[in-house]
């Protein structure tokens, strides 16, 4: 069963938990979840697909859970999505109705409310493992967002592999304040908790004081949030009682890693994944946690690095290659886009991530970044933007850094760095040349007030390239 802890027989046998979910001032016991979500299931059973306005509320929790009980695919829609993008998601997904919170513009679809206090104890047969659970729309950096079709099998396989790697058990209390329309917050945070059976606390906003007050054992956050916590000594010190801190969705700067380790006593877990693959690589609770490295493939996941000719790349920790993945956590394709699916899923089942990485002799992976924007070919060298960013963040005057390659008649591409902080650009260029190699130094450093980021804290490199 995908939502193992919500098995009615298990709850009836005495496995109830009074505070299984805490979110938006609501507290739901496990029996509350089963009864209320099953009531939702009765209202949507037989539907083709439904859209859920994925606000961090009990309504969203019950809407998603009810659909999964009934075997109805969920299309999570960000609450702050623009009108054109929302219209595209509704039309492309074929959603038949809005379930849960009602948006200001329904797009002509019917609305089905969620009744928080309704209860049903009807038993639904478990859907087939290959049935679609979610259709999650990507950020659309290369055109309109694409619907990523994620199966129940993939979600179950991913959560079980992470439970093994992170020693995640029902005794944990998982805390995060992340959006419920992405893999990080929705699949790992909410569905992971419902499968494992641990307590789940959503803080509403991912603020340091709220994380500190939550009393969790397992915390999820993006690097921007961890950076704020590292800057708040009181909040960071409060996390010393936790068991594991997990960072993802973007690279965690090494200085933030080290500051968290100092203040909390925990070296953070770093992991790698995507909407298409879910989480596939991670450092382990019982293994090495090396700053800047995302660890080893999860159980059941294969990885490979290829050069531009399709040959295997040496696992020496230095040579950059295109990262491909294979395993049970992969998506089933892009909805209505067989052409786009064929571009990234080959006939042998390998997913071409579009990311570039290095692997060392022990199998540890370090993500360099997106091949399209983070692999810089300059003066005959292949340079990873992430390595330069890590070096810049090691300078006391740099708070944030992002590096891009821009066209150059002489070099092919010129390395340009954007930094937030208080440092002399020429001094930063010389600093990187000393820390790394001369050919990896930025040819330009531009000091800016802020870096453009998306909702998950990822720097929008294509926007920076336009600035250049």
pLDDT over 60 (residue 342):
yes
Alpha-carbon distance of 191 to 203, in angstroms, equals 16
Summarize the confidence of residues 451-459 as an average pLDDT: 77
Q: What is the pLDDT of residue 213?
A: 97
Q: What is the pLDDT of residue 396?
A: 87
Structure tokens at 285: 């609770």
Q: How open is the CA angle 183-33-279, to the nearest 5 degrees?
A: 15
Q: pLDDT tier at 142 (50, 70, 90 boundaries)?
A: low
Alpha-carbon distance of 412 to 57, in angstroms, equals 50
Nearest to 10 by CA among 34, 27, 28: 34
User: Is the distance from CB of 288 to CB of 314 less than 8 angstroms?
Assistant: no
Q: What is the pLDDT of residue 141?
A: 52
Alpha-carbon distance of 55 to 64, in angstroms, equals 11
Which residues touch 184 (CB under 8 Å, ≥6 apart)?
Answer: 176, 178, 220, 222, 248, 249, 456
Paired with 406 in beta bridges are: 414
Q: Long-range contact list for 258-266, CB < 8 A, 24+ apart?
A: 258/291, 259/230, 260/226, 260/229, 260/230, 260/236, 263/230, 263/233, 263/236, 263/237, 263/239, 264/236, 264/237, 264/239, 264/240, 265/240, 266/239, 266/240, 266/242
Q: What is the pLDDT of residue 378?
A: 86
Q: pLDDT tier at 218 (50, 70, 90 boundaries)?
A: very high
Q: pLDDT tier at 467 (50, 70, 90 boundaries)?
A: confident
Q: What is the pLDDT of residue 93?
A: 97
pLDDT over 90 (residue 457):
no
Could you write out the three-class secondary structure of 269-316? EEEEEECCCEEEEECCCCCCCCCCCCEEECCCCEEEEECCCCCECCCC
Summarize the confidence of residues 153-165 as an average pLDDT: 98
Summarize the confidence of residues 92-108 as an average pLDDT: 94
Structure tokens at 460: 């929008």
Q: What is the pLDDT of residue 85?
A: 87
30-44 and 58-70 helices cross at what angle (nearest 10)? 60
Q: pLDDT tier at 51 (50, 70, 90 boundaries)?
A: very high
Q: What is the pLDDT of residue 387?
A: 80
pTM of the model: 0.87
User: Is the distance from CB of 83 to CB of 187 less than 8 angstroms?
Assistant: no
Structure tokens at 63: 């809407």
pLDDT over 70 (residue 219):
yes
Q: What is the pLDDT of residue 8?
A: 65
Q: What is the pLDDT of residue 255?
A: 87
Summarize the confidence of residues 451-456 as an average pLDDT: 77
Q: What is the pLDDT of residue 181?
A: 94
Alpha-carbon distance of 131 to 362, in angstroms, equals 37
Name the range with the highest mean pLDDT among 102-106, 385-389, 411-415.
102-106
Summarize the confidence of residues 98-114 as an average pLDDT: 94
**pLDDT tens digits along 388-442:** 888 898 898 999 899 998 888 778 888 999 999 998 999 999 999 888 878 889 9
Q: What domains does the chain contain, in order, with CATH numbers? A: 4-191 (3.40.50.12780), 192-369 (3.40.50.12780), 379-467 (3.30.300.30)
Specify the DSSP class assigned to residue 215: -
**Choice between 115 and 371, residue whose per-residue pLDDT is larger:** 115
φ, ψ (nearest 5 deg) of residue 99? -120, 135
pLDDT over 70 (residue 275):
yes
**pLDDT tens digits along 164-207:** 999 999 999 999 999 999 999 999 999 999 999 999 999 999 99
Which residues touch 13 (CB under 8 Å, ≥6 apart)?
Answer: none
> Mind giving me the DSSP string for 13-79?
TT---TTSEEETTEEE-HHHHHHHHHHHHHHHTT-S-EEEE--SSHHHHHHHHHHHHHT--EEEE-T
Least confident of 234-238, 251-255, 442-446, 451-455: 451-455
**pLDDT tens digits along 15-48:** 678 999 999 999 999 999 999 999 999 999 999 9
User: Is the distance from CB of 276 to CB of 331 less than 8 angstroms?
Assistant: yes
């Amino acid at each position: 069963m995908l939502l193992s802890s919500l098995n009615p027989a298990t709850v009836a046998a005495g496995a109830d938990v009074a505070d299984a979910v805490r979110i938006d001032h609501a507290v739901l016991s496990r029996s509350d979840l089963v009864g209320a979500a099953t009531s939702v299931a009765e209202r949507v059973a037989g539907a083709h697909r439904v859209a859920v306005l994925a606000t961090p509320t009990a309504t969203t929790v019950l809407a998603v859970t009810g659909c999964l009980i009934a075997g109805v695919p969920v299309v999570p829609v960000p609450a702050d999505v623009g009108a054109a993008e929302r219209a595209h998601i509704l039309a492309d997904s074929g959603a038949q109705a809005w379930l849960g919170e009602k948006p200001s513009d329904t797009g002509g679809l019917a609305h089905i409310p969620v009744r928080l206090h309704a209860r049903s104890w009807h038993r639904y047969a478990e859907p087939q493992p290959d049935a679609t659970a979610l259709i999650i729309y990507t950020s659309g950096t290369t055109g309109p967002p694409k619907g990523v079709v994620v199966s129940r099998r993939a979600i179950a396989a991913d959560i079980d592999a992470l439970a093994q790697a992170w020693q995640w058990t029902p005794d944990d209390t998982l805390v995060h304040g992340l959006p419920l329309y992405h893999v990080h917050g929705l699949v790992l945070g909410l569905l992971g908790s419902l499968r494992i059976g641990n307590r789940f606390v959503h803080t509403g906003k991912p603020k340091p004081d709220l994380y500190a007050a939550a009393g969790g054992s397992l915390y999820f956050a993006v690097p921007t949030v961890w950076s704020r916590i590292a800057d708040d000594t009181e909040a960071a010190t409060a996390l010393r009682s936790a068991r594991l801190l997990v960072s993802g969705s973007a690279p965690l700067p090494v200085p933030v890693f080290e500051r968290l380790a100092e203040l909390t006593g925990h070296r953070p877990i770093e992991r790698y994944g995507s909407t298409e693959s879910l989480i596939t690589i991670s450092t382990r609770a019982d293994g090495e946690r090396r700053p800047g490295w995302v660890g080893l493939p999860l159980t059941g996941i294969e990885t490979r690095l290829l050069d531009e000719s399709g040959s295997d790349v040496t696992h020496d920790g230095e040579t950059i290659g295109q990262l491909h993945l294979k395993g049970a956590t992969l998506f089933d394709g892009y909805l209505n886009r067989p052409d786009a699916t064929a571009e990234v899923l080959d006939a042998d089942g390998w997913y071409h991530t579009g990311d570039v990485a290095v692997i060392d002799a022990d199998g540890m992976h370090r993500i360099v970044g997106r091949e399209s924007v983070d692999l810089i070919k300059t003066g005959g060298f292949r340079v990873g933007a992430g390595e330069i960013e890590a070096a810049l963040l090691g300078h006391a005057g740099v708070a944030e850094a992002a590096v891009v390659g821009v066209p150059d008649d002489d070099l092919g591409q010129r390395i340009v760095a954007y930094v937030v902080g208080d440092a002399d650009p020429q001094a930063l260029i010389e600093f990187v040349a000393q820390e790394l190699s001369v050919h990896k130094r930025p040819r330009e450093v531009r000091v800016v007030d802020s870096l453009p980021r998306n909702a998950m804290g990822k720097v929008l490199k294509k926007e920076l390239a336009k600035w250049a």
